[in-house]
Amino acid sequence: MADVTRINERRRDGGVDLSLTADVLVIGGGPAGIWAALTAAQHGARVIIAEKGYVGTAGPLSSANTGIYYIKPDDPIHREGTVSARLPLAFDLADRIWIERTFDQAYANLDAMARWGYKWPKNEEGKEYRGRLRGPDMLFFLREQLKKYAVRILDHSPALELLTDGDVVAGAAGVNRQSGGHWEVKAAAIVLATGGTAFLSKIAGARGNTGDGYLMAAEAGAEFSGMEFSSQYAPAPADGVLSRGAHLDYGTLYDNDGKEILRGRQTVQAIEQTGAAWAYLNKTKDDETRAMVRKSHAHIFVHLERLGIDPFKERYQIDFRLEGTIRAAGGLAIDDSLSSTVPGLFVAGDLASRERVTGAGPPGGGPAASWAFASGTFAGRSAVAFARSFRGPLQSRNVISLGGAALRPVRQRRDQVTVKDIIASVQSEMIPFDRNYWRTGNYLTASIERFNREWADVRDGLGALPTEDSRTFAREILRVREAAAMLATARWINVSALERTETRGLHRRSDFPNLDPAQTYHLMTGGLDKVWLRHRQVTRTEQALAS
């Protein structure tokens, strides 16, 4: 019967179903991963991209449209206005050069798509409008570009662990959810772009975002930065899954008593204190504006119309849904080349810390899209440069597996440790407003103690259920790995949140409601069995750029 040692046994016996080599392996098929793969291929690398689902339908952007920020070249007024608008939201942790670098690259990517033949929508004057991305359409177009650049695509092929040759990250291994087969890719450089996690809070496009990349990177020794800046919530129609807020600019929000409120903290307070929050799109003055809003946010209108609601004529209930690290600032620590703290391992998209672009504040959809485009490009370019330093045949490279929790239990797998219980426990601490939107030292301490106990159980006894069917086993081992990743991510977040005794951006401490200028530093964390923490001061260069 299959058991939790199957992956190691198959590798040792030469039984991996698919064994490949590449200059660059990209893990994650959302916009950041696609841009990393495209960039690496354009620079002459042999590239493989592996995705848990289907490349081009991965991540929240695949489910809707969003804005994107960019800076027009040779337009100093636009440049200064764009950067100046972002800095107050960053709470002294951003870097002006990085904001410009990101938005400049976003423009270059949009321009490249136009040269490749992408048809941008046109405004009322008939001019191209590149400020809004049609997510599903755009990702399909980029997938086609991957094919043109001969990038090998592994769909439905989640990576479960990284490989190392002892000095640098040397590849990854995983399963295929449809065939049940095991795959292995040895590569000279890796780009992780698996996205953040909303802890399965039921937002559209995020079912596959369970923090897998965080766990894989941590097992290789990578460090994190700014994980406390992860408490991002966004409005969504009640009973809906699409967490988007731009359309609410055309409306008014109310609490359950009919009092007008603002989006953000007042919305959360309205739900907590009066029982509900409501939206009414009453600021659309004519049919032309209403048609534009409906077209730009079609997914939300489809949902409301199914419920028989006309949001231009009546109020509809809204919720505030956790987006977690998907629309936040913290993530894996990176340097100027998008390298993690582990040689050979590069990071892009929501998985990477965006503090130098967004500081402690939320990126919002537009800057987040810019970061996905730009960071993917930067990481792909850097991965190629790193790969060129590798000498020797990749196929004969002697590698070892790094995966631990839920793949190789320290002790015997135990039926008492279940995926359902682990996920329910994590969600009970990470989704409620009074636990994660508003944070307190007492709750954080209790959460950390609970998570530490559960991590010991996961490390010792969580594993896939034995089964003869390879497809069932592949899906089961993915599920247990996802649960372990979410638990690990929650620990890094809460340890960082407990340490920062102030309120700054996305980190809100009810017991420390004010910003403390003395805490203008980055919090670094990492570790598995024992989570560690240290401060990293903002450098003088960054301080000068942020002022």
Mean pLDDT of 453-479: 92
> What's the pLDDT score for residue 10?
46
> What's the pLDDT score for residue 11?
44
Burial 362-390, CB ≥16 within 10 A → b, else e: bbbbbbbbbbbbbbbbbbbbbbbebbeee
**Beta strands 182-192 and 224-225: pairing type?**
unpaired
> What's the pLDDT score for residue 526?
98
C-alpha 395 chain-centroid distance: 31
- Tell me what percent of the residues of the chain surpass a pLDDT of 90: 71
Instruction: Return the structure tokens found at 378.
Output: 């930067």
Burial 198-237, CB ≥16 within 10 A → b, else e: bbbbbbbbbebbbbbbbbbbbbbbbbbbbbbbbbbbbbbb
Amino acid at 91: F
Per-residue pLDDT at 493 exceeds 50: yes
C-alpha neighbours within 13 Å on the C-beta side of residue 86: 33
Structural domains of the chain ordered from first start: 20-230+325-392 (3.50.50.60), 233-323 (3.90.700.10), 405-513 (1.20.58.100)
Q: Average pLDDT over the chain, rounded to whole?
A: 91
Which tens digit of pLDDT belongs to each residue from 505-541? 999 999 999 999 999 999 999 999 999 999 998 874 4
* Residues whose CB falls within 8 Å of the CB of residue 45, separated by 6 or more in sequence, listed in order: 22, 23, 24, 383, 384, 387
Q: How confident is the model at residue 2 (pLDDT cuts 50, 70, 90)?
A: very low
Burial bucket for residue 177 (CB in 10 Å: 0-12, 13-18, 19+): middle
> What's the pLDDT score for residue 293?
85
Q: Are 107 and 147 in contact (CB under 8 A)?
A: no
Q: What angle do CA 423, 425, 427 make, to 5 degrees?
A: 70
Instruction: Return the structure tokens found at 466.
Output: 């034995």
C-alpha 419 chain-centroid distance: 22
> What's the pLDDT score for residue 285?
82
Which tens digit of pLDDT belongs to each residue from 450-461? 999 999 999 999
* Residues whose CB falls within 8 Å of the CB of residue 543, separated by 6 or more in sequence, listed in order: 92
Instruction: Return the structure tokens found at 465.
Output: 């259920």
* Residue 41 φ/ψ region, left for φ over 0, alpha for ψ in the -120 to 50 degree band, beta for the rest: alpha
Mean pLDDT of 400-422: 90
Sign of CA dihedral 3, 463, 470, 24: negative
Q: Are 139 and 35 in contact (CB under 8 A)?
A: no
> What's the pLDDT score for residue 7?
46
Mean pLDDT of 194-218: 93
SS3 call for 504:
strand
**Beta strands 252-255 and 277-280: pairing type?**
antiparallel
Q: Are 458 and 484 in contact (CB under 8 A)?
A: yes
- Sheet strands (E) in 38-80: 47-50, 65-67
Mean pLDDT of 107-133: 86
DSSP letter at 392?
S
CB atoms < 10 A from the CB of 281, how many? 25
Helix orientation angle between 96-115 and 76-86, rounded to the nearest 10 degrees: 120
Helix orientation angle between 441-461 and 419-430, rounded to the nearest 10 degrees: 160
Mean pLDDT of 370-386: 97
Highest mean pLDDT among 129-138, 165-174, 235-244: 165-174
Model confidence, pTM? 0.93
> What's the pLDDT score for residue 15?
58
Instruction: Return the structure tokens found at 149.
Output: 């650049």
- Least confident span in 4-18, 131-145, 178-192: 4-18
Residue whose structure tokens are 């969600």: 427
Amino acid at 476: E
| Distance, CA of 29 to CA of 15 (rounded, Å) | 26
Instruction: Return the structure tokens found at 347.
Output: 């990071």
DSSP letter at 433?
I
Q: Are 510 and 440 in contact (CB under 8 A)?
A: yes
Phi first, then psi, for residue 131 (nearest 5°) are -85, -5
| Distance, CA of 173 to CA of 10 (rounded, Å) | 11
What is the rounded (10 degree) CA torsion for 504, 505, 510, 513?
A: 40
